[in-house]
Amino acid sequence: MRSIIYTCLIIGSALVHADTHYQVLTSTKRDVNTENWNLSSSDFPEYKGKDRWSVSKRTLHGGKQEGVELIEVNNGKLQFRVIPTRGMSVLDVVHGDVRLGWNSPVKEVVHPSYINLHDRGGLGWLDGFNEWMVRCGLSFAGHPGEDKFINNVGAEATMNLTLHGKIGNIPASQVVVIVEKKSPHRIRIRGRINEVSFYGPNLSIWTEISTVPGSSAFRISDVLTNHGTFEEEFQIIYHANFGRPLLGEGAKLLTASSKIVPFNKNAAEAINEQRVYNAPTKGFTEEVFKIYPKSDEMGKTTALMINPKGDRGVSISWPVQQLPYLTQWKNTAAETTGYVTGIEPGTGFPHNRNYERKYGRVPKLAPGESRSFELDFKIHPSLKDVENATKKVNALQGAEPPKVHKNPEE
């Protein structure tokens, strides 16, 4: 019955713009939420390409997944899954035998109503952590712990920040699928998430993940806006997580950087092996490295994750001005613990906001101001492709190696 009602609404919301096919899947303003939907190249007369693409939405059922929405995109070569219910996180990306993603002990796509971020001393976020890419933020990201804020009577009060903030556990209020009618027919999945409280921050982010039929690349293109009255702090970290098949003993992360600093004492002891990954190691404690990326003449930097054989990889490129800091999270623990590494461009590092503020890494947005974040991901499916990508990162690094700190600081 619900679906029938929706069908009517959906007809209304599949607007045929001049240049795009524009489909509203969710809109709290218009009281629309679509449980099941799909669109494919077959339905799309303007498309003459050879790669058969599709976009579909469905709703998961059972256990902690009950009611979780999933959008599945296949560009004919590359498939990815977006979770509107969990802040438009990207569950995984598949390209032939390359999978961006990892095997978390958390197997279900957990509905936010089952997450208490304050649980386990502020680590409740980890009860749902299994996505390839989850945004951390917006009002705060990083480690849990106390920070100050101004409360409802204008007084300074203390609150417990929780690990990596709220945005990954807020459902999108608006979700739109846009397909360009003209070649190259870019497919865009957009979702808006609001992080807002009365007497609190009023931030929103319009997320977009897009790809072109038949491509091995995709792009994340977000706009974060302060709708509040005052200048407002924000933090965002793109927490992209890689397990097998890219991660393995001898896998490497190549970056071009001016400086690399260990996050803590544990990381400091492993600083000499920062680039290379170990085999799964029972009892491994996370090692985190703070990388200050170098940019090319276009202002962009690139990080390159390569598999142990060197014949598969993925590169991430982004403007350094947008995301000036890169965190490498090594968690080469046992497979059952979660064998994974995070490559995490951000507006700061994942210390508690309190700490980040001290070191000038908590940016602010003026009222009404927006800031864009654009990340390009490209799969390198062959030795040749990986070699070419490696050359570019090495060229960007140039002759001068990064200053590698032996001790944690800042």
Q: How far is the CB of 198 from a copy of itself (least distance, A)?
A: 4
User: Residue 137 in contact with residue 235, Cβ under 8 Å?
Assistant: yes
Cβ proximity to a copy of itself, 76 vs 408, nearer residue: 408
Q: How far is the CB of 83 from a copy of itself (least distance, A)?
A: 14
Cβ proximity to a copy of itself, 230 vs 359, nearer residue: 230
CA distance 400 to 101: 33
Q: How far is the CB of 46 from a copy of itself (least distance, A)?
A: 29
User: Residue 40 in contact with residue 53, Cβ under 8 Å?
Assistant: yes
User: Residue 328 in contact with residue 289, Cβ under 8 Å?
Assistant: yes
- E strand spans, 333-369: 339-346, 364-365
Cβ proximity to a copy of itself, 178 vs 254, nearer residue: 178
Q: How far is the CB of 20 from a copy of itself (least distance, A)?
A: 21
Which residues, 6 or more positions from 274, have their beta carbon under 8 angstroms from its beta carbon? 260, 289, 328, 404
Q: Phi and psi at residue 154, in whole multiples of 5°? A: 80, 10
Integer Rg of the chain from CA:
21
For 281-316, give the secondary structure using H, E and C. ECCCCCEEEEEEECCCCCCEEEEEEECCCCCCEEEE
Cβ proximity to a copy of itself, 203 vs 386, nearer residue: 203
Cβ proximity to a copy of itself, 266 vs 354, nearer residue: 266
Q: How far is the CB of 274 from a copy of itself (least distance, A)?
A: 17
- Name the 3-class secondary structure at 36: coil
Q: How far is the CB of 169 from a copy of itself (least distance, A)?
A: 9
Which residues, 6 or more positions from 123, have their beta carbon under 8 angstroms from its beta carbon? 144, 162, 163
Q: How far is CA 96 from the centre of its chain?
A: 21
Q: How far is the CB of 368 from a copy of itself (least distance, A)?
A: 9
CA distance 366 to 228: 9
- What is the rounded (10 degree) CA torsion for 110, 114, 118, 124? -30
Cβ proximity to a copy of itself, 48 vs 61, nearer residue: 61
Cβ proximity to a copy of itself, 127 vs 374, nearer residue: 127
Q: How far is the CB of 113 from a copy of itself (least distance, A)?
A: 4
Cβ proximity to a copy of itself, 25 vs 212, nearer residue: 25
Q: Which residues partner with 325 through β-bridges?
A: 346
